[in-house]
Amino acid sequence: MLNLIVCIKQVPIVSELPWDSKTGTLRRELAEGMVNPSCKHALEAAIRLSDQHNGKITVFSMGPPMAEEALYEAMAMGANRGVLLTDKRMAGADTYITSLILARAIKKKCPDFDLVLCGDQTSDSETAQVGPQLAEELGIPGVTNVEKLDLSTHTLCLERQTDDFLEILEMDLPGLVTISPHYYVPRHVSLGGVQQAFDYPNVDILGTDDLELDPGLVALKHSPTKIIRVYSPATEKENIVLKGAVKRIVNELFDRFGDRIGGAMGKDLKTHDHP
């Protein structure tokens, strides 16, 4: 049986993000949570693999107690069980401490795993670091930004797009992949799936003591990354009015903005001489 792990994160729903205008920070406690979109793609990839190879899926999430909801959402989609890592001492963990805790939890709850799947990045911090760091912590090979997976015996064949190249890689299991959000479009959650997830709850909730982490560990204090400030980037609009005859305007338009127009069109406009 294929033993799959998916790591998911609950992130604030973007449309409901309340910003504190004074401090310039997110007021996360006010936002409704959702499963990070990219994690859903990883879960979809896992469900398809599991369906093909008679697998089982354990979903791990680290976050506040409300993140339990994300695990139920994952089980409604098709995961078999969930593990929530939550503890005040875990709060404020950076990507390094997060991957350290995830690795410890995986070794404890699911040591005989075949493949770990993560989203390629989260919508709230976009570091894309937890996946690769988790592979390091677990001491297994890791491949990022995977578009397609194909499993035969114990070798995983992977496809990923890098710049203008399609890379095809092979990886021995156990291993870790992060899934890019293109091929594996997540399925809609079935209502019967939700009912079943709650009828047969299968979520373990673990804290730092359960994981036998260093009793002195306080994530916020021991995270090497310090966030100085979170803020919306300022953007400025400038209106430019081109005047004169049409031909002159068009020429000037392409002289000044040809690069950007070409970039948007995916063409090099410079190669075509315009009269």
Angle between helices 130-138 and 95-109 (to 10 degrees): 50
CB closer to another protein out of 33 and 55: 33
CB closer to another protein out of 47 and 171: 47
CB closer to another protein out of 55 and 193: 193
Residues facing 26 on adjacent strands: 19
CB closer to another protein out of 35 and 179: 35
Residues facing 82 on adjacent strands: 59, 203
Residue 203 CB, shortest distance to another protein, in Å, is 10
Residue 104 CB, shortest distance to another protein, in Å, is 26
Residue 74 CB, shortest distance to another protein, in Å, is 10
∠ at Cα 34 (174, 151), nearest 5°?
25
CB closer to another protein out of 39 and 134: 39
Residue with tokens 């976009």: 126
**Total number of residues binding another protein (CB under 8 A)?**
15
CB closer to another protein out of 155 and 195: 195
Which residues from 143-172 bind another protein, rule CB under 8 A? none
* Residue 243 dihedral angles phi and psi, to the nearest 5°: -120, 160
Q: Is the peptide bond before 37 cis (omega within 30 degrees of 0)?
A: no
Distance CA 70, CA 60 (A): 10
Distance CA 145, CA 167 (A): 11
Give yes or no for residue 34 binding another protein (CB under 8 A): yes
Distance CA 161, CA 141 (A): 19
> How many Cβ atoms are within 10 Å of 64's Cβ, its own excluded?
16
Which residues from 172-231 bind another protein, rule CB under 8 A? 188-192, 194-195, 197-198
Residues facing 116 on adjacent strands: 5, 176
Query: DSSP secondary structure string, 216-227?
Result: T--HHHH-S---
Amino acid at 20: D
Residue 181 CB, shortest distance to another protein, in Å, is 14
Residue 240 CB, shortest distance to another protein, in Å, is 24
CB closer to another protein out of 102 and 189: 189
Residue 27 CB, shortest distance to another protein, in Å, is 19
Residue 194 CB, shortest distance to another protein, in Å, is 5
> Do 251 and 274 form a contact (C-beta atoms < 8 A)?
yes
Give yes or no for residue 30 binding another protein (CB under 8 A): no
Which residues from 51-110 bind another protein, rule CB under 8 A? 68-69, 72-73, 76
Which residues from 229-248 bind another protein, rule CB under 8 A? none
List interacting residues with another protein (CB under 8 A): 34, 68-69, 72-73, 76, 188-192, 194-195, 197-198
